Amino acid sequence: MFVQTAIETEDLHHNPALENATDAARYAPAAGGKLIVLTAPLTESIDHAGYFIQMALASLPQWLEFVLDKKYPKWREVEHNEDGSARYMPAGVRVLEKSLLREYVADEVVACFPDDLDKFIGPNTRVVAVSTHNPLGVTFAAGVYTSIFGSSKEPLNSIYSRAMFDKIKSSPYRKNFQVVVGGSGGWQITQTNTFEELGIDCVAEGRSESADTLALFRKAIAGEALPREISLAHPTSRDAILFPDKRTTFGVVEMTTGCGRRCQFCVPDLNPQIDMPKARIMDAVRANVRQGNKVISLATEDMFIWGQVHTDTPFFFPNREALVDLYTEIVNTPGVEHHLLSHCTIAPFVVDPGLIRQLSEVLLPKSPIHLPLLSTHPQKKALVPLIGLETGSVRMARQIMPSKGVPFSIDEWPSLVLEGLRVANQNNWFPMMTLMVGNPDETDQDVRETLDLVYEMERRGLFAFLVPSIFTPLHDTRMEHQRGVTHTRQLSPLQWQLMMKCWKHNLRPGQYSWWGPLAWRAGSLFMWLYRLRKLNGPNFTWPLMMFAGVAPERILQGLGKIHVGKPLVSKSRRELIASLRPNYLKHLRADNGDLPESSGYSAEGLPSQRQKHFVAGAGSLKVLP
Ligand code: B12
Ligand code: SF4
């Protein structure tokens, strides 16, 4: 269907902006451009070198771009289809594209990289829709590192996003189209009120499947004024979720929405808890592979709820058979060479270590991540899911994430983390765990307790990449109006120590040579002398000295400069299970052991478990009578 637009194309030829336009802009796209042009920042679209490069782009300031250039000289090289459109795009763009194709013909909609916008924006263009994850870098674990490293507070991702918006804003056809921004980072525009500066007409919050989205685009195409902000409804059923049949960045395919653990600071948890049908996940996997993707990653807040949403069993008791079946089929799909994990939670590692063991067997061979000093896998492969640790303080955990550890009580949080990590490490899972520093109401004692947990991990030889970030109140969350630390200069000595201790801990798997850590530490001392001491203030000094290893930590503690975590006594898995509500015991797998003797459950499992079958291939779970 070609849509008749309210603004006539002739207007454009009188556009004074064209008189001063660059050559590229003066030569309008041959067919007058596309009606709807979709794009995303380059730094969010690249499908290169795995997740970590994008996470670095979200965290490093511009002056450190040379580090990435050196390590990944080709990171900016993207692949195109024959017509110049993008061969891959973030999953958000692809779902929006699929949604629009319900109403518009393929020739009216294009998804392209920012550098190619001039090829597609023309006199016929009525909407430029941008999908973004983190356009201004004001989210957690992003702004913080750029402010530690100084000069510009903006991470690279923000620099590239701004360049994209400038390009759209300066298009000679700008008067004829409206700019709509959506995706999980749209709120950053609203919160910083950068509509004018970035040339944005409307920020749309929510899902593109919704009828509201189609109505919004109709309005934009008709040239009607758009609201500054609009909410788009989230589908409430799995069948209403759309799956792209085009290639996505990193082969991202949605696995679940929502979570259910109700952490106060969490955005995705506000969405309905939905697990996607297996058949549709597999279609999207195969579509990615057909179009040249060798990597697949299932996007989720907690992979362990899949297969257990709205069943008779609470979602926090993972459905082992369903999960193993799904992942087995994905990694065995011809063409899938690698698989990357996204997010999960720690409690399932304690609930069902057998599941972790089985998943390791399936997933490790296809993991692109190698950790030679940590992994016991013959090829030194490792699995690195993202898990929220957030705090080691039970007081703080009760306040901000009371259900994070269900079925266990949040009072057991430190034990749960230590025990979960033990199971994870044993199976070659070395998670990336996020910590929140500077929560509203956080006391020195809370930070000390988090340090105690980090030191205890070290004492037990456990490993996770620890990624501390400064508390960021995200829009619409239950903590939206709370304020914590907003600047690195406001961090207390203990909060700085926690940040630097985490990074010191993270150096462990990188210690391939005697000189590596030495060079890193000498470099950090140099940076401190050169610029960081002025930038981050006096509270940063001793934590940095600790990080650089100028003296043993015990000595720094003796001088009263740092807190060396005290040993923790934690509960074993058996003890944790003994602390569960009796009615939860029936959901535990007896083959993991550790069930209370008084429960009378045998190693064959419980009657209820033996009756539960996963109907493979049907994409649904059935409890047979
Ligand atoms: C996979 C993933 C990643 C991957 C890949 C990202 C990529 N470029 O493809 C990696 C690991 C690289 C990554 C990195 C980061 N991520 Co991330 N990531 C995710 C995850 C798990 C899935 C994203 C996804 O593809 N979802 C599926 C698609 C379909 O959903 P969607 O993008 O939201 O799109 C829907 C709607 O938003 C809407 N929509 C999207 N675009 C548009 C556009 C318009 C115009 C309209 C109308 C609608 C619309 O329609 C779509 C569906 O209908 C989400 C959590 C989640 N479940 O969403 C976190 C999440 C988006 N990430 C988050 C964060 C913080 C980051 C990092 C900053 C972390 C860090 N410090 O390194 C970086 C930033 C990277 C960067 N380049 O700047 C946060 C975002 C918080 C925020 N902005 O408020 C989330 C929500 C995780 C969380 N629990 O908080 N991430
Ligand atoms: S466990 Fe993670 S995804 Fe779930 S509510 Fe908490 S922060 Fe959100």
Max avg pLDDT among 412-421, 493-502, 536-545: 412-421
Distance 259 CA to ligand 2 centre (A): 6
CA–CA distance, 116 with 120 (Å, rounded to integer): 7
Ligand minimally distant from the alpha carbon of residue 266 = 2
User: Are 220 and 126 within 8 A, CB to CB?
Assistant: yes
The reported pLDDT for the residue numbered 473 is: 60
pLDDT score at 534: 63
Q: What percent of the chain has a predicted confidence (pLDDT) above 70? A: 80
Looking at per-residue pLDDT, the higher value among 388 and 18 belongs to 388
- The response to whether residue 129 sits with its C-beta less than 6 Å from ligand 1 reads yes
Please give the average per-residue pLDDT across 82-101, as a whole number.
97
Instruction: Calculate mean pLDDT across residues 496-522.
Output: 70
pLDDT of res. 561: 85
The strand pairing partners of 252, in sequence order, are 297
- pLDDT tens-digit profile of 110-144? 999 999 999 999 999 999 999 998 888 765 544 44
**CA–CA distance, 209 with 232 (Å, rounded to integer):** 9
Question: Pick the residue with more confidence: 229 or 529?
Answer: 229
Q: Is the pLDDT of residue 624 over 70?
A: no
d(CA 470, CA 489): 12
For residue 501, report the distance from its CA to the centre of ligand 2, in Å. Answer: 24
pLDDT higher at 193 or 7: 193
Q: What is the pLDDT of residue 225?
A: 95
CA 526 to centroid of ligand 2, rounded, Å: 38
Of 450, 443, 570, nearest in space to 502 by CA: 450
Of 282-296, 507-521, 604-618, which gets the smallest average pLDDT? 604-618
More confidently predicted of 61 and 345? 345
pLDDT band at 532 (very low <50, low <70, confident <90, very high): low
Helical spans, DSSP H, in 222-319: 278-290
Closest CA to 187 of 238, 253, 249, 136: 136
pLDDT over 60 at 5, yes or no: no
pLDDT value for 367: 96
pLDDT for 191 equals 82
Residue with more model confidence, 621 or 589: 589
pLDDT tens-digit profile of 297-340?
999 999 999 999 999 999 999 999 999 999 999 999 999 999 99
Q: What is the mean pLDDT of residues 212-237?
A: 95
Q: For residues 323 and 452, what is the distance between their CA atoms, to the nearest angstrom? A: 34
Q: Chain-wide mean pLDDT for the chain?
A: 85
Mutation test residue for ligand 2: of 259, 300, 303, 389, the one with most atoms within 8 Å of CB: 259
Which residue among 273, 345, 400, 474 is best mutated to probe the pocket of ligand 2, counting the most ligand atoms within 8 A of its Cβ? 345
Residue 618 has a pLDDT of 32
Reported as a pLDDT band with limits 50, 70 and 90, residue 8 is very low
Residues 400-412, mean pLDDT to the nearest whole number: 97
Q: Which residue has the higher pLDDT, 535 or 41?
A: 41
Residue nearest to ligand 1 atom 84, measured at CA: 185
State the pTM of this model.
0.87
Residue ranges lining ligand 2, Cβ < 6 Å:
259, 261-263, 266, 268-269, 301-302, 345, 388, 401, 404
Which of 180, 184, 212 for mutating ligand 1's site (highest number of atoms within 8 Å of CB)? 184
Q: How confident is the model at residue 623 (pLDDT cuts 50, 70, 90)?
A: very low
Q: Whose CA is nearest to atom 45 of ligand 1?
A: 182
Q: How confident is the model at residue 507 (pLDDT cuts 50, 70, 90)?
A: confident
- Please state the atom number of ligand 2 nearest to the C-alpha of residue 404: 1
Residue 72 phi, psi dihedral angles, 5° rounding: -125, 75
Write out 531-587 in H/E/C secondary structure.
Answer: HHHHHHCHHHHHHHHHHHCCCCHHHHHHCCCCCCCCCCCCCCHHHHHHCCCHHHHHH
Q: Is the beta carbon of 276 within 6 A of some atom in ligand 1?
A: no
Q: What pLDDT is recorded for position 361?
A: 98
Ligand 1 touching residue 270 (CB < 6 A): no
Residue 230, pLDDT > 60, answer: yes
Q: Are 166 and 194 in contact (CB under 8 A)?
A: no
**How far is Cα 153 from Cα 143, in angstroms, rounded to an integer?**
7
Pocket test for ligand 2, best of 263, 264, 398 (most atoms within 8 A of CB): 263
The pLDDT of residue 469 is 81
pLDDT at 170 over 60: yes
pLDDT at 486: 60
160: pLDDT strictly greater than 80: yes
Ligand 1 atom 52: residue of nearest CA:
207
The proportion of the chain whose per-residue pLDDT surpasses 90, expressed as a percent, equals 62
What is the model's pLDDT at position 267? 80
Give the pLDDT confidence score for residue 478 in this predicted structure.
59
The ligand 1 atom nearest the CA atom of 248: 9
- Give the distance (Å) from ligand 1 centre to CA of residue 326: 23
Ligand 1 midpoint to CA 376 (Å): 32
Q: Is the CB of 39 under 6 A from ligand 1?
A: no
What was the pLDDT predicted at 510?
Answer: 59
Per-residue pLDDT reduced to its tens digit, 238-295:
999 999 999 999 999 999 999 999 998 888 888 899 999 999 999 999 999 999 999 9
Helix (H) / strand (E) containing 216:
helix 211-221
